[in-house]
Structures are given as C-alpha cells and as structure tokens.
Amino acid sequence: MTITVHLHTILQRKSPAGLVSRLELELPLRPEGGELVASGAKQVDTVGDLVDLLEIRLAPDDLLLAVNGMTAAPEQVLHDGDVVHLIPALAGGGQAVFSGTD
C-alpha cells in the first residue's frame, strides 16, 4: 500500500539535500490473519499507526490530521493511494495583557 505523507512546518525531516516535507511510503501489507510481508515490520492500518511509525511526539490535541483533504481521527483506516497531511498546531496571536497603568 502506498501512502503520500505531507509533513508541515516543524514535522519536516532533515536530510543531506535539505528539508523533506513529502514522503512516499510503501507500507507493509498483512493478508487477513496472515504474517507480515516484511519480517519484523510494523503494521500500519490507521492514521494513528502512521504517526507512531514516523515517531511524531506531539500531543493528539497539538496535531491536525487530514486524509484526502478531510479532517481525520487517529482511528481512521488508511487505504492505498491516500494522501495524509500532518499539521502541527500553531501558536501566537495571543492578546496582550495590560496592568492598567502606564
């Protein structure tokens, strides 16, 4: 199963050629009740499994998951050809707090 993964902002991977923001992953397949095709390979069935495979260590509330242009839950099952976007939450734009004195 081939999945395209887009890594946004801080999730991009460093490589000798520069930052990598797009991955084409060939995930191991397991026939119903069968053995993994690649011995020792981690089975990836859901978006959450993919996040684990990529070793992304953000809290679930700090990561927006999208599959084929639609918001997704970690439990969403992946299918061949899916395009996944992993987008970390952005901070900033907070309101300034004043003490009331100048």
17: tokens are 């050629």
Domains and CATH numbers, the chain: 2-30+39-88 (3.10.20.30)
**The whole model's pTM is what?**
0.76
User: What digits encode the pLDDT tens for the residues 43-55?
Assistant: 889 999 999 999 9
Chain segment 62-90, per-residue pLDDT in tens: 999 999 999 999 999 999 999 999 999 87
